[in-house]
């Protein structure tokens, strides 16, 4: 594990999303799995990009985008669960990871804004 817990967690979450999507076998789910894949993997991509921000404002903006993507991911997870594309255990485990990321992102954004 690296020194940046948020980077590590977001990468692990992206891997979990990819594995979840690879396991969906319900027909006519492609549009949902594509949305979930984009949003779920974008969280980590934006957090990674924030590490190379040009300014504090740019850093916060990237984290806020990651937070928006986490919120969208949560939405798609719920849709997929409610339409029986994923089982309850998968939903709960993945949603818990997503919630953890959201909480850390919210705290990180607040801290970065306060230190401005």
By the 10 Å C-beta count (0-12 exposed, 13-18 middle, 19+ buried), 109 is classed as middle
pLDDT in tens, 31-89: 999 999 999 999 999 999 999 999 999 999 999 999 999 999 999 999 999 999 999 99
Q: What is the 3-state secondary structure (H, E, C) of 21-61?
A: HHCCCCCCCHHHHHHHHHHHHHHHHHHHHHCCCCCHHHHHH
Instruction: Give the pLDDT band (50/70/90) at residue 27.
Output: confident
Residue 76 token pair: 């798609």
Indicate whether 1 pLDDT > 90: no
Instruction: Give the pLDDT band (50/70/90) at residue 116.
Output: low
- Its domain, for residue 65, covers 5-114
Number of structural domains (the chain) is: 1
CATH of residue 15: 1.20.1440.60
């Amino acid at each position: 594990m690296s020194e940046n817990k948020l980077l590590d967690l977001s990468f692990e979450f992206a891997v979990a999303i990819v594995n979840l999507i690879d396991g969906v076998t319900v027909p006519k789910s492609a549009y949902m799995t594509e949305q979930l894949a984009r949003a779920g993997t974008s969280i980590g991509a934006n957090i990674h990009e924030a590490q190379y921000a040009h300014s504090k404002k740019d850093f916060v903006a990237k984290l806020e985008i990651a937070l928006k993507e986490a919120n969208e991911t949560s939405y798609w997870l719920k849709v997929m669960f409610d339409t029986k594309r994923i089982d309850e255990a998968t939903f709960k485990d993945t949603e818990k990871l997503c919630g953890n990321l959201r909480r850390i992102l919210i705290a990180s954004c607040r801290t970065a804004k306060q230190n401005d």
